[in-house]
Structure 1
Amino acid sequence: MTEQFRTFQRRFGESRPGLQLIAVEHAAIPVSVLRADVLAQEKKKLPIAENYTLQFVQRGVDTPKAIASFLGLDTAHIIEAVASQVSENHLRRLSGGRLALTPLGTEIVRNLAASQPVLRQLPISFDRLTWTLADYRESALIKKSEAEKRGMWILPAARSAHIGVDDVSANDFNTLFKDDRIQVLRVRKVSAKKHRYLSVQMLVYADQSRRELELAICIDDELATDHGLALDRIEAVERLGISFGEAEPRPILDDDLESRRSTHCEVDFVDAPAAVREIGAGGEVAAMVRGVSVFEHADLLSEALSTANYRILIIAPWVKNSVVSTEFVSKLERRLRSGVEVTIAHGYGDDDRGSDEYALKRLHNLATRFDNFLFIRVKNTHAKILIFDSCWVTTSFNWLSFRGDSDRTYRMEEGTLVRIPNRVDTEYVRYLSLIRQHEVRESL
């Protein structure tokens, strides 16, 4: 498992009874940045019922029943407000149930009258998945092109309609506002200034026996219940074209390695860090042949780009912008500058239509700058390989296109990690030889 997946599994793995958490994806929620014309006034320290009770008494409406009638409230609410203001020495009771202001109450009403409602323009975010106002900071929102570049899942909006005054209320604004000095009385007009997206995590749950999927959303590492319900309402699984399919066969190793292979669940990888798990007491890498779950591949790739000391080899059919990102290229360049020998082989079919031109260009440009970087296209890279230092991973996982793939079918793919230095050396030499013969060999 990846560290991220393990964290979400521990916190939210049981939140959908009968379902298994199978993936955590980067996703983007559609958000509109609105400009709202509202009628607002400065908030007073008095609750609104007590505020208006004092003002009505000052104007001669001096019984709880009459005040309640004007405000459209139950008389009990006004009686409660009166009791509070009597205790504050702002009101006094007269015969017949009538009320009067005290000198202090008269001063309070004078101050209340000094503040008049004004028309203001307020910026606010509107979540188009839940179709509600939201307190997202505009600086946290990104353009759709950026979300797509990062390989995020673009989540659908609940509706395609324009956002209008019927979709928001004064109470919605007042609930969200952190500034307690302003109270919105009425929303007069709203207009969308721009459309943006909020980066979130999308949790994918599955019932493997029935091939059923459900989705949930995490915002700031907390499960967003309203967003999960919204995804269910709009049938997001179908709209996004997500399905659950059979896994591709795991690449089979020779008999010796297969006999030594342990499945991922047989090894305790939960509590101990990688360095403790895989480094022996003598400081050398422990011999190991073990299964690799689909969730662990991304972490292994990141480990290679961050820690490799002398070699990295990646073989993958396609190359996508969402994987070969600025961070990927920066990490790779740091490895190259430190003297690591890097080989990346890609290709499937007669052309590069399955890859992103910009990603290929970035790697090609890097290869022209570093003699220790071989970036090469082969005819058909059926093999999907990662080797770094004394670690070899053979799998059906697409190392350089696992994000942004048009195929939205989840498969519980497995690979195998081998940490036997002599064997890794042998495989490294073998794959380099096959790559260098790419012009005369049809496939790896």
Structure 2
Amino acid sequence: MNNQMKDEIKKFENQIRRRYLLPEAIVIDCKPIGYPFHVLNVDLTYLANRQLHLAEEFVMKCINHELNKHKEIALFLGMDENLIEKVVSELLSKGLITREDFLKLTDLGLNSLEQQTVLAPISETKTFYIDALNGKISEKFYLNRLDSKKNNSALNKIIKKPRKGHIEDIVEYYENIEKLLQNYNSSSRIELIQVNNIEKVYTEWHELLLVLYQRNPEDKEIEYEIFSRGNIQVEYRTTIEQLYAEGKKILDPIFQEIEQDKLSNDNLVERQILTTINNENIKTVEKLSAKIQSLEDPDFLIDSKNKSIKEERKKLKEELDQIKAQSKISEIIHTYEHRDYLFNTFKEAKQRVMIVSPWIRRYVVDQEFLEMLEATLNRKIQVYIFYGIKGSNQKNDPSSIKKLEELSNKYKNLRFQKVKNTHRKILVCDNKFGIVTSFNFLSFRADPNLTYRDELGVIIRDSATIEDLFNSGINLTQDEI
């Protein structure tokens, strides 16, 4: 753990201690998580620069043309007489009309009517964000706007992702959309005429930090808190816990989209390799690792003379080793660790490197990547890079592919090849380790400054399994020969 991360964890620890009056609380881990927002590009039509509401304008025009009885105005406009009465009352309170023997515009009213902009609808596309957990809509991404105490009514239903082209999915948001349009034109009144179309919909994941802690060193329970930009976000935790307590798996529909990004049929070898690895193994390894780390914390052992701590740590390590041996998992890596492993592989490999990934993008296969690859090739390391999945051309960057092809022509120890159809993502470094993951090594950068996306991988250090993994990659090219 680097010094910056240690300082960050210490800061979280101090905040938890102060907020919850837990002077002995200790932070044992910190992980990034994603908070979901549905992003909508909506084509709509509205009126801007309106000093008067449309109904007010029409009523005033009727009065100016000597239709000065409620019934006459209602009949002419085809509106309910009670509604006309309401509009007239509003105009009277604003001093725009008077009621003597009949309705009449005041000088202020005449001036307002003259200044009213001629009806000129504006049609354009605007972007809106819908909080996927509480359903609140905004014109910008506001991570701190969620307040579960004010939005409990939103928890009574599942917030479904609106569908492209289905404006009926956002009818309930029309009033709020009109208010949000006002934020774009603070000096004028906005009237939403209609929503024409939902042109695009996608889900963004904005990064929060999940901090795991104990109330005191003796406490066996691990609790959690959510942080954003250095502040404790109790509202998010409250919302998530309430939803799940009600049995509403609010994130399930979102994760179903991610589930579609599964291994394709050609990954039979990886499936065989990982038959003993499952989610339960991964969770157990992470849980045991967190417990062992907390027991090894120096603060935990201060003034402790109890040998049971060492015994518990020894027992947990034995249990962890057993799970790792059974499942062949050596370590578990998360989103931001993958690129470090990739670059360290380039630096440390002694014999061979293999990368398999479906897509190639230039913001990943960038200058830094190419320079490190060429330095590896100059050390006479054999490098295998395989990519290619059906329908993937639009996701591949031709310039990056060309640069890799040029390196392949220059160095005989680089085998760069497009295969028929693979969705696997693997990294092999000599016989030291192999990584099987959901992370796209050649097309996803995992930049902390961009939208967060959860990825998970397992490291395998069993030499026989590493060899099977390497051979499975080589076998991808058999149909191409």
TM superposition score category, shorter chain reference: 0.3 to 0.5
Higher strand share: 1
TM-score of the two chains, using structure 1 as the length reference:
0.44
Higher helix share: 2
TM-score of the two chains, using structure 2 as the length reference:
0.41
